[in-house]
Amino acid sequence: MTARSPAPAPPARSAAGPGLTRRRLLGTGLAGAGALLAAGALSGCASPASASDASALKVWDLFQGGDGLLMDEMIEAVAGGGRGFDVDRTILDWGPSYYTKLAMSAAGGRAPDVAVLHLSRLAGYAPGGLLAPFDLDLLAEFGVTQEDFTPAVWARTRYDGTVYAIPLDIHPFIVFYDKDAAGTAGLLDSSGELAPMGSPQALLDAGRALAAATGHAGIVFGHVNDPAQNWRLFAALYAQTGAGFTLPDGGPAGLDTDAAIRVVSFLRQLFDGRTNPDNLDYYAGLTMFSSGRGGMAMLGEWELPTLRKSGIPLGAAPFPQVFDRPAVYTDSHSFVLPHQDDPDPARRREAHRYVAEIIKQSLTWASAGHIPAYQPVLAQPEYAALTPQSSYADAGKAAVLDPPNWFTGAGSNFQSRMCQPLQSALLGHTTPEKAVRRMVREADALLRQPDPVA
């Protein structure tokens, strides 16, 4: 998951022999997604999954660029040997078009065997019968159990007490920092890692100290005209206050307005337009930090490959706890079993085995910055040796996702509508109180809309 458009996928590679993967890129823009909806169920949705050998395990995902190559590597690792997989992998564009196509294929009962879903989107798919549940006994036979995941993430794999998703990773909103600047600012502990903050004032002081150390900006955050960035930052800090955010069907939204105003007011202090800029878009923030003109950046861990190329002495840490409890905004790429009208039991068994074997390969996935959700991988010495990845691995223990409802989650209109009033507040165009009241109104308006798959 990224806040940016994914990099173009590399050319598809042909299978070199039995058991290896066939790989296709299928681009679907928003106009294409609308055409699919207008055309009726599955007028074009089944073709990607049925275009090649029917015996191959059909897998859909949204991993392009570097992530796409890593997934190729993981599939090839499990495809080898006498009990390997023949995988027919289709890669679709990340965003609303992916989720439209996945929903339509499942609604028509002619979906792929396995698909990737952001865990934050589960509430929009499991209730409408678009997904089949996982057989936990079957997963245990292949070496994967509930105990292999953090409770914070596993809790979100369920709908109505049944598990519908198996997480591949945890991709949190964290802080990257320039180790030299942080050292000069006195922010490192005895092991050379970012020391805990502990209070809002401590983070404000850190911003000023980093600005003095760099001679430019302290903490950079690119948010202008971005549909998710403000929400990620607000959601992390709001969860740290201990307040809840519930979205019951029909409304009203359950938001603690006092806690929310406290958070937005603090953000106004933090991004004051002087020590820490208040008006950066995503790319400006990324560029300012990677060019050494900022001491710390609030970004998703998925920016690690880009930041490594900058040459700055790079450190990373879970999002700092400044309020009452640890909380880190995150999401998770997870595997699901889309609904099929007449599933083949043998293929469903292979789908379970495939998911189990792929998540065991997530040390490869971690090289791009993602935290493996499968905890036995985190316990490997090879993971501990990954820097700076191992420095923020604990973020998964304090993971906070979007409040569940059909309209929330990665790439959703909910995130965009929450971001608009937050952006206005950070830019000084409205007060924290007015921004929070508008957030509540936007949430209530979404709650009045009917679930399209209910």
Dmax (CA) for the chain in angstroms is: 64
- Determine the 3-state secondary structure of 77 from DSSP: helix
On the CB side of 16, CA atoms within 13 Å amount to: 4
pLDDT at 22: 66
Distance CA(374)–CA(181), nearest Å, equals: 34
pLDDT at 85: 86
Tokens of 319: 């999002």
CATH topology of domain 22-168+332-396: D-Maltodextrin-Binding Protein; domain 2 (3.40.190)
* pTM more than 0.85: yes
Strands 217-220 and 114-118: unpaired
Q: Is 81 left (phi over 0), alpha (psi -120 to 50) or beta?
A: left
On the CB side of 177, CA atoms within 13 Å amount to: 32
pLDDT at 266: 98
- Cα–Cα nearest to 424, from 413, 432, 416: 432
Identify the burial level of 251 via C-beta atoms within 10 angstroms of its C-beta, where 0-12 means exposed, 13-18 middle and 19 or more buried: middle
**Does CATH place domain 172-330+412-447 in 3.40.190.10?**
yes
pLDDT at 12: 36
Could you tell me how many helices (H) and strands (E) the chain has, helices first? 18, 18
Domains in the chain: boundaries? 22-168+332-396, 172-330+412-447
Q: Tens-digit pLDDT profile for the chain (454 aa)?
A: 444 433 333 333 333 333 445 667 665 433 333 333 322 322 223 333 333 456 789 999 999 999 999 999 999 999 876 667 899 999 999 888 899 999 999 998 889 999 999 999 999 999 989 999 999 999 999 999 999 999 999 999 999 999 999 999 999 999 999 999 999 999 999 999 999 999 999 999 999 999 999 999 999 999 999 999 999 999 999 999 999 999 999 999 999 999 999 999 999 999 999 999 999 999 999 999 999 999 999 999 999 999 999 999 999 999 999 999 999 999 999 999 999 999 999 999 999 999 999 999 999 999 999 999 999 999 999 999 999 999 999 999 999 999 999 999 999 999 999 999 999 999 999 999 999 999 999 999 999 999 887 7
Our CA angle for 258, 262, 264, nearest 5°, is 115
Q: Do domains 22-168+332-396 and 172-330+412-447 have the same CATH topology?
A: yes
pLDDT at 365: 98
Distance CA(120)–CA(219), nearest Å, equals: 28
Distance CA(451)–CA(412), nearest Å, equals: 14
Q: What is 89-132 written as a DSSP string?
A: EEEE-SSHHHHHHHHHHHHTTB--SEEEEEGGGGGGTTTTT-EE
Could you give the C-alpha distances from 414 to 32, 249, 417, in angstroms and in order?
22, 14, 5
- Cα–Cα nearest to 236, from 298, 288, 194, 181: 298
Report residue 90: phi and psi, to 5°: -115, 130
